[in-house]
Structure 1
Amino acid sequence: MELELDRTQLNGFETVLDTTVCHEETLEAIVPDAYPDIRTVCDTEGIVLLKRKEAQDGRAECAGSVQAVILYLPDGADGLRRMDVTLPFTCGVDHTGITSKCGVMVMPYLQAIETRLLNPRKVLVRVNLSIQFQVCAPVSTTVCGGVLEPENAGVQQMSERYETCVIACIQEKPFPYSDEVTLPGSKPEAECLLKNRAALRCGEAKVIGNKLIFKGDARVQLLYRSTEGGLCTAEFEIPFSQIMEISGAGEEATCEIQMVLTDLDCALEEGNGGRTFRITMGLLAQAAVRDMRTIDMLTDVYSTSYDLTGETQVYTLNQLLDHGEKEQTIREILETGTLAREVFDAYATISGVTQNWEGERLTLSADVQVTVLYQTEEGGYTSAVRSIPVSCPLELPHTGVCSCWCSCTSPVYATPTSGGIEVRLPVCFRYTAQEGHKVPSVTAVRLNEDAPRDHSALPSIVLRMVGPGERLWDIAKAYGTTTCDIMQANALEEDAIPEGQLLLIPRKR
């Protein structure tokens, strides 16, 4: 006879893939007829826009584009000019655990971009991307907390309480943002926009009921030519606040939100004295919500009245070790060879994060490529580029598993100095570390009513010494009695017994 068990259903997601894929795109672009010939390419910057991501059976894929802005000096004229190039990309990763029901979080990083002049009317643009895929599959697990009505068959059971951290929800929300920003009075009026960029940051996230409320900001930087002919920069902090529908998580849940650009456009408004810009953005918020669940698991069972067999299964319960963010500051000198008269623009691109374990220390590492656009002593325009490694140590058990992301949280500070250009910038590592514990649990119990246990052949009283690591439960099970009977026979007030103690084991009647 199969006994009825108290079963609990655990629904959530498990990570089946967390990896970074490198991808390269190249494009030959013709200079538009209305543009002058290119004499020298001074700088190229790209913005990654994510357009699509999806999970298929055996594969996760994303697609988007890199909006590249080339700043160059024209042949036979002065002043920097702008040329726009769009490089579409599609990238994917294969894994047997991926199905169409999986949730996919994608973080694309622009590692490097360069432009090579083929002739005055043609350029070759090359971009290197690192794209981080985190794929989570829905799972439904049944755990048994105990036998229903155990007293009917003399069933003795041990149920233990555990906590496990589960990914309760994978959700996303796209949303647009549009606003006008005005140059402060200390900035000269703009004649034309040369470049723009936006860094996204989510600073606060909270679950209330079935809503995930998150807030953050987009730091938009502009490089423009003033009406006086000089190059100027401006920075604006644009806040956003959104509500996302979620399910299956409590209000103490831990929320990870990754923000990605899906569109970015900035234009100088006409008729406003060169002081107002219209900024339009498309943003995608990707959320992984982790929640703590408390569950009772049936870990052992026997009967004092009948032969009993049980089936067990090993479950993996995840414990949240640590989560948060750490900021590392880079301070380096970019050697230029010649004296830099003035710095006009500085920015950074970041590769995907790598991990290295050494004992109980996990080191997160990334390569930060810093680019500085400056004016030489002779009055020309050029850029200096340098790749700088940055690392972040964490104290974690080697058995842990860590998911991590990296971003530059503030504008790059750059100033001319002897021997080159000094740059300073903060790099933020965001991480979530967890550890899996194996717990065996009973999943089915069968009782043989045709084979009752015969206690008549056993002595009425047994003296038994407690061995190393033995529990009262183990002794009671071995002699077909109960822990309660042993405690009563030995006047014990609790089931914790010291090693070497002599116990009186009564026969079960």
Structure 2
Amino acid sequence: MTDSGINAEVLVNIFAIYRSNDGIMMWHESQENVTQAVDVSGASADAVCFVSCRQQSGNVQIRPDADGEDRVLEAEAVCELGIHAYEEKNHEIVTDCYIPAGEAIAVTSQAKLLKLMTHNNTRCRAAGMLKTDTGAIGDICSCRGQVKVQDISYEKSNVEVNGTVDVNALCTDKSGMLYCVKGEIPFGQKIEVRGMEDFCKMGGKKAEEVISLMMNADLEKINAVKASDGIEVKASAALDVIVFGSTKRDIIDDIRIQEADKAEYMSLPLITGYIVKPGDTLWSIAKSHHTTADDIKTCNTLKGEEVNAGDRLILMKKGILQN
């Protein structure tokens, strides 16, 4: 991703099977790299980019060469890009408010925040044997595969992905007749997500409740060779995974101010001696004693924000809120 959009490079696999003028069954296989710049509104080179690519349509046609002979195969494909871009920001969230000599009522709503846990591009290998009952194999014309993810599970700091590579091999027998051999090759891969276990413990939730992910699972390489009892297949699956942790927070949308109850307020002492309890902060002490953290620091000549259990403080009540 750039500041103007996406620079995409797509690898197009082309396979065509045809008959020659002599009636001989033939085939052609090749790969082509295609680059394309795509304008994307709001794009940023600093964004975390997650892009999926899916072939929408495609065809192959015969074209004449410079001599007028039908020797050129023209391939055309349309690919659909699914573009997600994420920008990571640090937010300061106001979680509490008060007025020393009045009453502040916070109007809140719940917001869902996402934390980027990892963006991981990993490769996993799959290997297996495809059995055939059609006799001896002459040639393997083409071997294609599709990655299918069947199960995703969470274990401490790992995401475990299990699935299959669905293989489709086009072969000939000894007489030159074409036939297809299909099968599945299983694979499994663990992807490390640092901090996932601590994130779940912090919210007291299971990973399935607070962890979400998106994944592109594509076939990177596949190779098929003849074996004595079938076809030996080796494949490499590319797993592009982006993982988020979600949490919900109460966000203050508005603050409504009310006057304090004068009789109740005036009954409280102007100066109070206070012994700090475990878990106390300057904020919590100030809120419960109608003063401010800055006033506590000034009155007690504190240099920092830290207070410890057992510390002795002098607290002075603020003046009542005036209209």
TM-score for the superposition, normalised by structure 2: 0.82
Contact 1:354–1:366 (Cα < 8 Å) also in 2 = yes
RMSD: 2.6
Q: Which residue of 1 aligns with 2:248?
A: 438
Contact 2:65–2:72 (Cα < 8 Å) also in 1 = no
Structure 1's unaligned 5+ residue stretches are: 1-205
Counterpart of 1:293 (choices 73, 85, 89) is 89
Taking the TM superposition and a 5 Å limit, the aligned residue runs for 1:399-418 are 399-410=210-221, 412-418=222-228
Distance 1:284 1:453, change over 3 A: farther
Q: Which residue of 1 aligns with 2:281?
A: 471
Distance in 1 between the 2:219 and 2:307 partners? 57
Counterpart of 2:33 (choices 233, 238, 241) is 238
Q: Which amino acid aligns with 2:15?
A: L
Distance in 2 between the 1:473 and 1:386 partners? 66
Deviation at 1:427, TM superposition (A): 1.0
Would you say 1:348 and 2:145 are equivalent positions? yes
Q: Which residue of 2 aligns with 1:195?
A: none
Bigger share in strand: 1
Contact 1:353–1:406 (Cα < 8 Å) also in 2 = no
Counterpart of 1:218 (choices 8, 11, 15) is 11
Taking the TM superposition and a 5 Å limit, the aligned residue runs for 1:129-278 are 206-208=1-3, 211-225=4-18, 227=20, 229=24, 231-247=26-42, 250-272=44-66, 273-278=69-74
Deviation at 1:380, TM superposition (A): 4.1
1:226-269: CA deviation from partner (whole Å, max 9, x where unpaired): 7473634321223121222313x544112222222232111121
1:404-448: CA deviation from partner (whole Å, max 9, x where unpaired): 2211123x2111123221111211122221111222222221222
Deviation at 1:457, TM superposition (A): 3.3
Deviation at 1:224, TM superposition (A): 3.2
Q: Which amino acid aligns with 2:51?
A: I
Aligned residues: 300
Distance in 2 between the 1:415 and 1:401 partners? 39
Q: Which residue of 2 aligns with 1:367?
A: 164
Q: Which amino acid aligns with 1:242?
A: A
Q: Which amino acid aligns with 2:137?
A: A
Contact 1:323–1:431 (Cα < 8 Å) also in 2 = yes
Deviation at 1:292, TM superposition (A): 2.1
SS in 1 for 2:92: strand
Deviation at 1:225, TM superposition (A): 4.4
Distance in 1 between the 2:123 and 2:250 partners? 40
SS in 2 for 1:476: helix
Would you say 1:303 and 2:99 are equivalent positions? yes
Q: Which amino acid aligns with 1:236?
A: Q
Distance 1:216 1:368, change over 3 A: same
Q: Which residue of 1 aligns with 2:200?
A: none
Distance in 2 between the 1:250 and 1:298 partners? 28
Distance in 1 between the 2:56 and 2:177 partners? 35
Distance 1:340 1:453, change over 3 A: farther
Bigger share in helix: 2
Deviation at 1:357, TM superposition (A): 2.8
SS in 1 for 2:130: strand
Distance in 2 between the 1:453 and 1:242 partners? 71
Distance 1:241 1:262, change over 3 A: same
Distance in 1 between the 2:45 and 2:90 partners? 15
Percent pairwise identity: 17
Distance 1:207 1:379, change over 3 A: closer
Distance 1:469 1:450, change over 3 A: closer
Contact 1:304–1:453 (Cα < 8 Å) also in 2 = no
SS in 1 for 2:269: coil
1:182-220: CA deviation from partner (whole Å, max 9, x where unpaired): xxxxxxxxxxxxxxxxxxxxxxxx130xx2122112322
Would you say 1:421 and 2:217 are equivalent positions? no
Deviation at 1:319, TM superposition (A): 0.6
Contact 1:455–1:508 (Cα < 8 Å) also in 2 = no
